[in-house]
Structure 1
Amino acid sequence: MQLILNSISTAAVNLLVFSAIPFLWWFFRHRKETSFFRWLGFIKPKLNGKWWTLVVFAIIYYFFYTFDFTRWIPQETMDYLENSGSVSVNAFAGIGAAAILPALIENFIANGVAEEILYRGFLCKLFCHKLGTVKGILLQAALFGLMHNALYLLAGLQVGLWYHTLMFLFTGMAALLLGWLNEKIYNGSILPSILLHGAGNFISSMLTAFSFL
């Protein structure tokens, strides 16, 4: 029960923090034009172009997601991270089915919804409008990668420059793919990236919970 309450608390805090700037920006600049959620991209996904572009994306994303970048990380660093209380997924380690509900809450709301609101809903669309679609997607991806570096630094995790570099590249590439999915394959809806982001994190949590990692 405590784990569920912690996940609810994390989800609530993340939603407030990640939505604050987008909401204020919308309120002062766009509230007379459209609703907040439509402005962010909470609209029905509609495939742009040919169906095979989605198939190609799915193949690329599958190989990206299943690629184990941790093979390039020293074992002592991995052991350190797996035993750190600052790494959120460790809360689910080895607890099996008891992790399903709190992981669903944390992965789909605290990560999937909250992070997508700020990065693909707000920043990506803002940058795409100002700089063009490709540059906008690339810039939000870089900021998403840097956010993960910053979170590790704020948590006081001693992982070294090499780990930070790999983390930036891995999370940045994920953000690039999610931004591309929304803006180039679909019609600007952020629902596809919310579902994919949440599902990816949830799978990782389940692998940890059932001791597959």
Structure 2
Amino acid sequence: MGEILSSITGAIVNLVIFSLIPVLWWFFRHRKEVGFFKWIGLYKPQLKSQWWVLIIFAAVYYFFYSFDFTQLIDAKSLEYLENSASVSGNAYAGMGAAAIVPALIENFIANGVAEEILFRGFLCKRLCSKFGTVPGIILQGVLFALMHNILYLVIGMEVSLWYHVLMFVFTAMGALLLGWLNEKIYNGSIIPSIILHGAGNFISTMLAVFG
């Protein structure tokens, strides 16, 4: 029960923090033009590409997400990550089935909804509007990856420069794919990326718990 309450609290805090800038930006600049949910992309997704494009995307995303990039990490960084309390998935180690509900809350709300609102809903759409769809998608991917690098540095994660490079490349690629899914395959709704982001993180956490 304690883990569930902790996950709910963390999810609410994340959601508030990540939504603060988008809400304020919308309130002071766009509230008279459009509702917040539509502006940020929280509306029903509609496929605007051919169905086979979605199939190709699914295959690419599956192979990208299932690729074990830990085999590229240096041994010292990998050992540190496997034992660090700062790695969210490690918090659920040894909990078994009791980890499912708190992990669902954390992965879908704290990660999926909160991060997608800020990066794919706010940043990606603003950048696409200013620089064009493809440059905007690429730029938000770069910023999303840099956020993870900076976070690791701020909390003092003892990982190598090579790990930072790998994390940047793989995180940027994941963000690029999520942005592409929303803006090029669907109708700008961020719900597809919320579902995919949350599910991907949840599966990774469950693999850490039961693997």
TM-score category, normalised to shorter length: over 0.9
Partner of 2:71: 71
Q: How much does 1:159 deviate?
A: 0.3
Partner of 2:132: 132
Q: How much does 1:81 deviate?
A: 1.0
Partner of 2:86: 86
- Aligned pairs for 1:156-167 (under 5 A) are 156-167=156-167
CA distance in structure 2 between the aligned counterparts of 1:150 and 1:8, rounded to whole angstroms? 25
Letter in 1 for 2:83: N
CA distance in structure 2 between the aligned counterparts of 1:73 and 1:50, rounded to whole angstroms? 38
CA distance in structure 2 between the aligned counterparts of 1:16 and 1:156, rounded to whole angstroms? 24
- Could you tell which deviates more after superposition, 34-43 or 123-132? 34-43
CA distance in structure 1 between the aligned counterparts of 2:128 and 2:179, rounded to whole angstroms? 10
Say yes or no: does 1:182 pair with 2:182. Answer: yes
CA distance in structure 1 between the aligned counterparts of 2:129 and 2:154, rounded to whole angstroms? 31
Alignment size in residue pairs = 211
Question: Unaligned stretches of 5+ in structure 2?
Answer: none
Q: Percent identity?
A: 69
Structure 1-normalised TM-score?
A: 0.97
Structure 2-normalised TM-score?
A: 0.98
Partner of 1:116: 116
CA distance in structure 2 between the aligned counterparts of 1:133 and 1:8, rounded to whole angstroms? 35
CA distance in structure 1 between the aligned counterparts of 2:131 and 2:13, rounded to whole angstroms? 31
Partner of 1:100: 100
Partner of 2:151: 151
CA contact (8 A) 2:19 2:117 kept: yes
CA distance in structure 2 between the aligned counterparts of 1:205 and 1:93, rounded to whole angstroms? 9
Partner of 1:39: 39
Question: Unaligned stretches of 5+ in structure 1?
Answer: none
Letter in 1 for 2:164: H
CA contact (8 A) 1:145 1:168 kept: yes
| Deviation by residue 1:122-163 (Cα, 9 ceiling, x = unmatched) | 000000000000000000000000011011111111102100
Structure 1: 4+ residue segments shifted above 2 A: none
Partner of 2:195: 195
Q: How much does 1:60 deviate?
A: 0.3
CA distance in structure 2 between the aligned counterparts of 1:202 and 1:37, rounded to whole angstroms? 25
CA contact (8 A) 2:137 2:180 kept: yes
CA distance in structure 2 between the aligned counterparts of 1:5 and 1:147, rounded to whole angstroms? 27
